[in-house]
Copies of this chain bind each other. A is one copy, B any other.
């Protein structure tokens, strides 16, 4: 298993269809969570938590909810977009080995969080940095991970007993996979292709780029 950083960055995929459901070794899972927990955070607040969801009943309920949100999104589309979307799988909740729900607690490290007085969302950003560490570590360990975002935060709070002050940031499906796709799902299925890096780089001032769709 290679844990080269650049290799992990480029091999990493957002997995839906390739989970095998095989178990993950305790030490592997621990390395992945230690990596997530080593992320930077505003004011060293470490505002994240990780809810490991293995319970089949809970996952089944969440999957039902995600299906209904999928339908809500599908109903907003027309023509080619609707047809393309119909071919895209948006979650691997039951097929993956477990779900990891990453949350954000805005009261952690308070009341005065160093670096957050001017930007309230800076704490939320920290939970995202932990997710990317987790994702890269999972990839380096040969596992797949898929971020599910077809859900309402209130639903997930209710389902997992998450207090209302704490926001769920992601449901991550994690587990061994048959393979990681070379081309991301949304490109393979014709949903949206990549933007050239050069378009994203600006020198000293932001320049308006021709507005891509």
Q: What separation, in Å, do the CA atoms of A166 and B202 have in the docked complex?
A: 14
Identical chains bound together, number: 2
Contacts of A53 in B (CB 8 A): 204
A180 adjacent to chain B (CB < 8 Å): no
Partner of A35, one of B9, B160, B213: B9
Kindly report which residue of chain B lies nearest to residue A208, judged by CB atoms: B163
Residue among A35, A58, A201 with max Cβ neighbours from chain B (10 Å): A201
Chain A's interface size range is 35 or more
**Given A5-B3, A187-B44, A205-B51 in contact, is the A114-B137 Cβ separation under 8 Å?**
no
B residues in contact with A37, CB < 8 Å: 197, 200
Contact yes or no, B149 A116, CB < 8 A: yes
Cβ-defined partner of A5 (8 Å) among B103, B114, B140, B152: B140
CB proximity of A37 to chain B, nearest CB, Å: 5
Residues in B with CB closer than 8 Å to A132 are 39, 128-129, 132-133
A136 and B72 within 8 A (CB): no
A-B contact pairs, 16 of them (CB 8 A): A5-B5, A6-B137, A44-B184, A58-B204, A73-B114, A77-B112, A85-B114, A90-B114, A109-B192, A118-B152, A124-B124, A125-B128, A125-B169, A128-B128, A133-B136, A163-B206
Point out residues on A near B: beta carbons under 8 Å.
Answer: 3-6, 8-10, 12, 14, 31, 33-35, 37-40, 42-46, 48-55, 58, 69, 72-73, 76-77, 81, 85, 88, 90, 103, 107-110, 112, 114-119, 121-122, 124-125, 128-129, 131-133, 135-137, 140, 147, 149-153, 160-163, 166, 169-170, 184, 186-187, 191-195, 197, 200-208, 211-213
